[in-house]
Amino acid sequence: MTGPVAATLFERVGGQPFFDRLVDAFYDGVRADPVLLALYPEPADLAPARRRLALFLGQYWGGPTAYSDERGHPRLRMRHAPFPIDEHMRDRWLGHMRRAMDACVTDAAVRAELEGYFTPSADHLRNA
């Protein structure tokens, strides 16, 4: 006999609406950051980037596979390869994500799990 299955982070935060709010707060910061915004191919319209990141994060944390259904395997390094991401850009990205977490995350355990993913992932995407 097995014990109860632990809820995914996706379930614990209330599903996709949480990731939508987190990503909206993140991109509000990006929109106001001309250095980071310059990396986006369509800086005037961040809606597609917002959607992709929200779907990716929802899927990563145990939600539906909408991201992969639409875009295939995430292949994060490949998808970010065209953009010069150095330490400075990584730190700017993490700063905006941390401020988004400040605005959206009230549970310390959830914050720790998110931070435990975002920090090494941002570092992994450095390519310059």
Distance CA 34, CA 96 (A): 13
Band of pLDDT at residue 99, cut at 50, 70 and 90 = very high
Alpha-helix runs per DSSP H in 2-107: 9-12, 16-31, 34-37, 47-60, 66-71, 76-80, 87-104
Q: Tens of pLDDT along 5-37?
A: 779 999 999 999 999 999 999 999 999 999 999
Query: Residue 112: what pLDDT?
Result: 98
Sequence ranges of the domains in the chain: 11-124
CB neighbours of residue 81 within 10 Å:
12
Band of pLDDT at residue 3, cut at 50, 70 and 90 = low
Domain 11-124, classified CATH 3.40.50.450, yes or no: no
Query: Residue 1: what pLDDT?
Result: 58
